[in-house]
Amino acid sequence: MFPVSRILVTFYFINTIMLSAQSFDKKIKTLSSDIESNIIELRHWFHQNPELSNREFKTAERIAKELIKIGLKPKTGVAKTGVVAVLKGGKPGPVVALRADIDGLPVKERVNLPWKSEMTGIYNGENVPVMHACGHDAHTAILIGVAKVLHAIKDEIPGSIKFIFQPAEEGAPAGEEGGAELMVKEGVLKNPNVSAIFGLHIWSQLNAGHVYVRPKGIMAAVNEFRIDIKGVQTHGSTPWTGVDPIVAASQMINNIQTIVSRSLPLTEAAAVVTIGSIHGGVRSNIIPENLYMLGTIRTLDENMKETVLKRLEEIVYNTAKSNNIKAKITYQVSYPITYNDPELYENMLPSLKRINGDENVHFMNAITGAEDFSFFQKEVPGMYFFIGGAKKGTDASKAAPHHTPDFYVDDSALITGIKSMSTLALDYLIKNRK
């Protein structure tokens, strides 16, 4: 049994920490409100000037310019086009990192906005339209807003904040390294050493002003793959004189779809295997020699992931053998599960509820989307959450999904992101100061 005196001291210490954290709330709300219009303008600029992964040159230049205006000294060229800056508080304490992704997608925007994108870029050797079709423009603007808020009260901060503007979250171009994995490899979480990291994602199909989070796995691991099939070309009128890779590919696709439905314990966690692209042949009367398919695997459980990979290889190679063709699987992109450290989640959930209102913070189910934020979480405890992006009063369920031409998120969501990230950083530093 603990002595009464120890219980009283512990209660006093916890209560002091809570009061200290809460004392910043009014400042955060006021500062966030003061800069909201400026951050909205910045968001419009980023939206109008999107760039593809590892090619975010203008984006990085603008980020660095804005950070310098705040009073920070950004480091550029991190993991090719990333930007990193450290805000040192006026009091000693740990280091917390905040991350935003900055790249766009090869999508042509169809939303009629004064600040819509007309940009183009090179993707897989082709000139393509480019759009911020996943909200990274909002993430970038939000993190700059957080830097503004925290810099304004830096003398009161017990510790340091590392702002990480990460390129290539959507995946580096073929043959290149990039994204969070490369940032970690280059030591972005070192010098000064980061104790914890926070990140967010805006969601077009949730209403602005609301926050969604959960402990443990929140987003799936991803394993993208390519299947190359080699047959024997022949005339379409005499298929018996060749070996048909199209028939073999069709059998593979059908059999691959049985992996989830027949080989996995789906009551434990979700999983998806999708073939999203197939390329082979040029004419109706020519059976081609070669064909390739592109696919993605999404899993929320490590054991289930291993089962999927094992069954995929069994199906592809055995189907190839039965059709007398050659096949090869190449894994191209792999992200771990985006995993919210349970202890960090329990400690920081009250912060999200306090700054946003308890009724606006919701527990969510894990989703089969993926995020390379997971590479940071493999190194230090991390917490990732979602904020709503649909205009208040609208039916968010009818909003266009991410990665589509009609994707749109409302500017009113930005202030929720600024307040949430600022509060998480401050509360973490206050709770973990020595």
Q: What is the DSSP string of 364-403?
A: ---BS---TTHHHHTTS-EEEEEEEEEPTTS-GGGSPPTT
Q: Each residue of 105-127: pLDDT tens digit?
A: 999 999 999 999 999 999 989 99
Average pLDDT over residues 418-427: 98
Identify the band that residue 188 occupies on the pLDDT scale cut at 50, 70 and 90. Answer: very high
pLDDT over threshold 60, residue 10: no
Token pair 């916890």: residue = 14
Please write down the long-range contacts of 120-128, taking CB distance under 8 Å and 24 or more positions apart.
121/51, 121/52, 121/55, 122/52, 122/55, 123/52, 123/173, 124/173, 124/174
Q: Give the pLDDT confidence score for residue 21 in this predicted structure.
A: 73
Whole-angstrom Cα distance, residue 214 to residue 383?
9
Q: Each residue of 46-90: pLDDT tens digit?
A: 999 999 999 999 999 999 999 999 999 999 999 999 999 999 999
The whole-model pTM stands at 0.90
Structure tokens at 110: 């169809």
Whole-angstrom Cα distance, residue 102 to residue 53?
8
Q: Each residue of 195-219: pLDDT tens digit?
A: 999 999 999 999 999 999 999 999 9
Q: Give the pLDDT confidence score for residue 22 in this predicted structure.
A: 80
Return the closest-CA partner of residue 304 out of 353, 261, 340, 250.
261
CB 121 within 8 A of CB 396: no
Q: How buried is 131 (Cβ within 10 angstroms: 0-12 exposed, 13-18 middle, 19+ buried)?
A: buried
221-230 and 326-335 strand pairing:
antiparallel
pLDDT over threshold 50, residue 383: yes
φ, ψ dihedrals at 431, nearest 5°? -70, -25
* Helices 25-48 & 57-70 angle (0-180, nearest 10): 150
Identify the band that residue 23 occupies on the pLDDT scale cut at 50, 70 and 90. Answer: confident
Q: In what order do the strands lie in the sheet with 196-207?
A: 75-78, 82-88, 158-166, 91-101, 196-207, 382-390, 211-213, 361-363
Structure tokens at 141: 């603007």
CATH number, span 4-219+338-431: 3.40.630.10
Identify the band that residue 331 occupies on the pLDDT scale cut at 50, 70 and 90. Answer: very high
Q: Which residues contact 45 (CB under 8 A, 6 or more apart)?
A: 62, 115
pLDDT over threshold 70, residue 129: yes
Average pLDDT over residues 238-260: 98
Structure tokens at 143: 């993190």
Mean model confidence pLDDT for the chain: 95
Identify the band that residue 174 occupies on the pLDDT scale cut at 50, 70 and 90. Answer: confident
Q: Give the pLDDT confidence score for residue 4 in this predicted structure.
A: 53
Whole-angstrom Cα distance, residue 300 to residue 218?
8
pLDDT over threshold 60, residue 426: yes
Residue ranges of the alpha helices (H) in 265-341? Answer: 302-322
Residue ranges covered by each domain of the chain:
4-219+338-431, 221-335
| DSSP H or E stretch at residue 93 | strand 91-101
Whole-angstrom Cα distance, residue 159 to residue 16?
18
Q: Each residue of 386-409: pLDDT tens digit?
A: 999 999 999 999 999 999 999 999
Structure tokens at 52: 């593809």
Structure tokens at 323: 């059709």
CB 83 within 8 A of CB 63: yes
pLDDT over threshold 60, residue 2: no
Q: Give the pLDDT confidence score for residue 9 in this predicted structure.
A: 47
pLDDT over threshold 80, residue 432: yes
CB 366 within 8 A of CB 386: no
Q: Which residues contact 4 (CB under 8 A, 6 or more apart)?
A: none
Q: Give the pLDDT confidence score for residue 18 in this predicted structure.
A: 55
Q: Give the pLDDT confidence score for residue 12 in this predicted structure.
A: 47
Whole-angstrom Cα distance, residue 148 to residue 87?
10
Q: In what order do the strands lie in the sheet with 221-230?
A: 271-279, 290-299, 221-230, 326-335
Identify the band that residue 332 occupies on the pLDDT scale cut at 50, 70 and 90. Answer: confident
Lowest mean pLDDT among 7-21, 163-177, 288-302, 327-341: 7-21
CATH class of 221-335: alpha beta
Q: How buried is 188 (Cβ within 10 angstroms: 0-12 exposed, 13-18 middle, 19+ buried)?
A: buried
∠ CA 390-395-396 to the nearest 5 degrees?
Answer: 40
Token pair 């290149």: residue = 176
Residue 330: strand, helix, or coil: strand
